[in-house]
Structures are given as structure tokens and as C-alpha cells.
């Protein structure tokens, strides 16, 4: 059995208020991209900070490349947390150069070009938009071809082009053996890059399965998103035949149902007084967010 790139056995880090993560066990091997998905406060960031060698775990065992030594692992790791801290007075290129030097003189040219920062490379970071800072942050993590990439909310602030660049880069590097752990609620991005998905709820990994398997589990289902004013009873919606889950989200409900024919009419009838109560309605094929809802009973929106 090959040594996993990342192995967590009952890893736990809890704060005094009980929040945090663990015990969590996971195993990530070569060529895998594991996405950690969960609502706010589910422990994603705490777990990613432990996996990214930033925060020590309180119990359990955490091995990077088969060794429990975070200091030795850092030379083979690329890490991105939510903060976009740079030396703002200096240029993007100068910042990147610093990280390149730390990584043993890695080449910065291709990354500047691929992240579409070449034109602004000589300008101070203080003049960068948030999206540009995020792209630079990701480029810095990719310097020196890390073997393991730990990314917390990597698509935050990225535009469509930036997201595509990141997805393509991860796919291309994965083919060369890169392993990545990505914490995000951007399910569209997860569906584009992940090979495995872990669902976190209240600091516990409640599901850990291949992406295709999870998506197959919601095949044939239908998702209805209702935006409505007050006065709609969730329990009535739950009693509609074929409705499997109803999650209350901001300004409405997400309904996940197995039945297709006649479903919409039944749901609308259940709401009643549509002119007064219903603001918007959308129906779509289910994806990872619906899978999360179906398996955990909780919505990723909160």
C-alpha cells in the first residue's frame, strides 16, 4: 500500500466554545483532489489550518508524506488561507520573488503569465484589486511545484477567467501527481476539480466519497428553489408527495424531490396565494449542493 501524501487519524482541534473540528480521519493519496464542503462554522477552516501545518492539532495523528513533522513537510507544501496579506508597498513581482527565493529559486515567469498578472507585475500590490491579490496568492502557493496543495476558499474573489485558470492548473498539475485539499462551498468549482468530496458538519466528517459517486446518488432528483415572503409553511412543503428534503435558506426554501411529474404543481398549490407569497422560483438538475442537502439534511447556504 503506498504511503498516503496526507493521513489524518482522529485529528481534533476544538476551541473553548466547543467549535472547531474533530475527531476527523482522512487519507489522501497521489493524484487526488479532496474537496471539503460544509456550511459556515462546520470546521473547514480549522481543519485546513491543521492540514496546512499552521495550527497544531490537539489529539490524533497527522502525517504529511508519512511523517508527523510539519516543519519538514513545509518545503513540499503550498498553502493558501483566506487572508491575502502581502507587502503592499512592493510590486506583485517583488512579492512573488520573495516566495520564489524561499522555495529555492523557483521560476516566477510562467506563473505571472498564467495568472494574467504580467501587465501589473511591476505595480505595487496596494494598487491591485482583490481578485488580483487572490490570483497572486495562488501563484505564490504554486511556486516550486509543491506536492501537496492546501487551499482555503480558493475561488474567493476570482472572476470567471481566474476560476478557469485555477481549475485548469489544478487539473494539469494533478496529472503530474499533485495532491490537493480544497476547502470551499463553491460546488460548481468542486464539481470541476475534485476527485473526492468530504462533507463536514459541526466539525465532523460525515461523508467522504468519490465525487462521481455522490453525484450519482442525486441522479433523477430535482431541485426547486423558492424565494418567498413570510407565510409559507415548510412542514406543508415536506408533506408534498415525492419531496425528500426541505431546507430553509435566506429568503426562501430549497426543495429536493424524487418525483418529477406534477411535482411543481403540487408545490405551488401547497404555497397558495402565489401572487402574494411567491417572489421567484427556479428548477434545476441537482448537483453537489443537493447531495449535501440530501445526505445531511442541511443546506450549504446556512
109 binds other proteins (CB under 8 A): yes
Which one of the spans 23-31, 60-68, 108-116, 242-250 is the region binding other proteins (CB under 8 A)? 108-116
Cα distances from 249 to residues 23, 236, 253, 254, in angstroms, run 28, 16, 5, 7
Site for other proteins in 4-63 (CB under 8 A): 49, 52-56
Q: Determine if 233 is a binding residue for other proteins (CB under 8 A).
A: no
Preceding omega of 23 cis (within 30 degrees of 0): yes
- How many CB atoms are located within 10 Å of the residue 264 CB? 15
171 binds other proteins (CB under 8 A): no
Interface with other proteins includes 238 (CB under 8 A)? no
Cell output for 256: 429536493
Instruction: For residue 244, state whether it binds other proteins (rule: CB under 8 A).
Output: no
Please report how close the Cβ of residue 49 comes to other proteins at its closest, in angstroms: 8
Binding to other proteins by residue 285, rule CB under 8 A? no
Residue by residue, DSSP assigns 49-114 as HHHTTSS--SEEEEEETTB--HHHHGGGEEEE-S-----TTSBHHHHHHHHHHHTTS---HHHHHH
Which region among 78-86, 176-184, 209-217, 267-275 touches other proteins (by CB under 8 A)?
78-86
Angstrom distance (rounded) from CA 281 to CA 243: 16
Torsion of CA 7, 8, 9, 15, to 10 degrees: 170
Q: Does 100 bind other proteins (CB under 8 A)?
A: yes
Report the distance separating Cα 55 and Cα 62, nearest Å: 12
The burial of 225, by beta-carbon neighbours within 10 Å (0-12 exposed, 13-18 middle, 19 or more buried), is given as middle
CB-wise, 19 or 74, nearer to other proteins? 74
Kindly tell me which of 142 and 291 has the beta carbon lying closer to other proteins.
Answer: 142
Using the minimum distance from each CB to other proteins, give the nearer residue, 102 or 278: 102
- Scan for cell 498539475, then name that residue: 173
**Binding of residue 172 to other proteins (CB under 8 A):** no
**Of 59, 66, 69, 101, the one binding other proteins by CB under 8 A:** 101
Q: Which is nearer to other proteins, 73 or 247 (CB)?
A: 73
Does residue 160 belong to the site contacting other proteins (CB under 8 A)?
no
What are the residues binding other proteins (CB under 8 A)? 49, 52-56, 71, 74-75, 77, 79, 81-90, 93-95, 97-109, 112-114, 116, 118-119, 121-122, 124
Amino acid at each position: 500500500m503506498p504511503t498516503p501524501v496526507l493521513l489524518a487519524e482522529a485529528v481534533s482541534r476544538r476551541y473553548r466554545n466547543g467549535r472547531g473540528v474533530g475527531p476527523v480521519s482522512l487519507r489522501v493519496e497521489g493524484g487526488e483532489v479532496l474537496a471539503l464542503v460544509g456550511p459556515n462554522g462546520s470546521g473547514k477552516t480549522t481543519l485546513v489550518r491543521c492540514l496546512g501545518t499552521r495550527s497544531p492539532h490537539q489529539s490524533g495523528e497527522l502525517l504529511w508524506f508519512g511523517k508527523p513533522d510539519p516543519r519538514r513537510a513545509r518545503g513540499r507544501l503550498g498553502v493558501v488561507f483566506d487572508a491575502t496579506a502581502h507587502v503592499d508597498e512592493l510590486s506583485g513581482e517583488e512579492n512573488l520573488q520573495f516566495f520564489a527565493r524561499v522555495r529555492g529559486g523557483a521560476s516566477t515567469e510562467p506563473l505571472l503569465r498564467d495568472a494574467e498578472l504580467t501587465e501589473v507585475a511591476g505595480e505595487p500590490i496596494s494598487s491591485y484589486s482583490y481578485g488580483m491579490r487572490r490570483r497572486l496568492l495562488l501563484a505564490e502557493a504554486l511556486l516550486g511545484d509543491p506536492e501537496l496543495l492546501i487551499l482555503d476558499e480558493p475561488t474567493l474573489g476570482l472572476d470567471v477567467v481566474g476560476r478557469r485558470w485555477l481549475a485548469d492548473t489544478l487539473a494539469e498539475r494533478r496529472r503530474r501527481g499533485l495532491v490537493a485539499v480544497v476547502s470551499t462551498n463553491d460546488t460548481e468549482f468542486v464539481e470541476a476539480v475534485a476527485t473526492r468530496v468530504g462533507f463536514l458538519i459541526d466539525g465532523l466528517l460525515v461523508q467522504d466519497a468519490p465525487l462521481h459517486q455522490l453525484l450519482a446518488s442525486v441522479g433523477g432528483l430535482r431541485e426547486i428553489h423558492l424565494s418567498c415572503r413570510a407565510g409559507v409553511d415548510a412542514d406543508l412543503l415536506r408533506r408534498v408527495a415525492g419531496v425528500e428534503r426541505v431546507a430553509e435558506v435566506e429568503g426562501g426554501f430549497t426543495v429536493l424531490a424524487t418525483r418529477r411529474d406534477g411535482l411543481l404543481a403540487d408545490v405551488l398549490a401547497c404555497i397558495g396565494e402565489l401572487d402574494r407569497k411567491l417572489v421567484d422560483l427556479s428548477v434545476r438538475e441537482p448537483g453537489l449542493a443537493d447531495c449535501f442537502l440530501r445526505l445531511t439534511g442541511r443546506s450549504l447556504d446556512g
